[in-house]
Amino acid sequence: MKRSTVVHTFSCGVIVGLLAFATGCQTGDSSSSSVSVQPAQSTRSAATSAPAAAPAAGAPAVVRVNAGAYEAYTNSNGEVWLADKGFEGGDVIERPGIQIANTQNPEIYRSEHYAMNSFTIDVPNGKYLAKLHFAETFEGIMGPGDRVFSFNVQGREFKDFDVWVKAGGPNRAYVESVPVEVTDGKFRITFDFIAENPQINGIELIPQ
């Protein structure tokens, strides 16, 4: 009887990788096993961030007072004007609906505080631009010289002030801008009567 010879063939493969290699040897009837090698992970040191800078101290807020007004008012630029406050003496009046020229915010000039002695408000020390708003809207004032008064803004004197003359007529807005410095925590204006009562429509105090 002739015997058949079964020859088992062995194969050997070598796989070479960049960082590792695997060697396997298998027979025709055996399953192969493989070994995988993960590439080494690099260790990155965490960066240390610099501490955040301390926020700068907030600047003083702008102060806006609508003299003579009973309620706060927001103008066309979204700026809020407080109702009448800070005055010593005098009285207030509103003239709703009156037409005011030379301004985009006529509502400021439709109320006024008049016959006052002073205006005072607490603010942080520093430099400011004071804007004083005037308009001659009283029907009893018929022309130049009918209302004349003086006022003092933080030591700066304005003598013989005539709203009609400054604005160029009645129902016209006029703004007097005055650079000032506050050193005692209080912003002050004093008023003196000459002819008719002193009056004012609005006060802005803008930090510089």
Q: What is the DSSP string of 99-145?
A: --BS-S-GGGGGEEEES-SEEEEE--SEEEEEEEEE----TT--STT
pTM across the whole model = 0.72
Task: Please state, as a whole number, how many other Cβ atoms lie within 10 Å of the Cβ of residue 79.
Answer: 12
Q: What would the pLDDT profile of 159-176 be if each residue is shown by its tens digit?
A: 999 999 999 999 999 999
Amino acid 9: pLDDT = 35
Taking the C-alpha atoms of residue 88 and residue 116, their distance in angstroms, rounded to an integer, is 6
Q: What would the pLDDT profile of 7-30 be if each residue is shown by its tens digit?
A: 333 333 333 333 333 334 333 333
Q: In this structure, are residues 171 and 135 in contact, taking their beta carbons and an 8 Å threshold?
A: yes
What domains are defined for the chain? 63-207 (2.60.120.430)
Taking the C-alpha atoms of residue 150 and residue 195, their distance in angstroms, rounded to an integer, is 10
69: Cα within 13 Å, side-chain hemisphere: 21
Taking the C-alpha atoms of residue 113 and residue 95, their distance in angstroms, rounded to an integer, is 12
Amino acid 21: pLDDT = 32
Percent of the chain's residues with pLDDT above 90: 71
Q: What would the pLDDT profile of 106-152 be if each residue is shown by its tens digit?
A: 999 999 999 999 999 999 999 999 999 999 999 999 999 999 999 99
Taking the C-alpha atoms of residue 87 and residue 121, their distance in angstroms, rounded to an integer, is 9
Q: What would the pLDDT profile of 30-87 be if each residue is shown by its tens digit?
A: 333 333 333 333 333 333 333 333 334 577 899 999 999 999 999 999 999 999 999 9
Written as six digits, the tokens of 24 are 């396997």
Mean pLDDT of the chain: 80
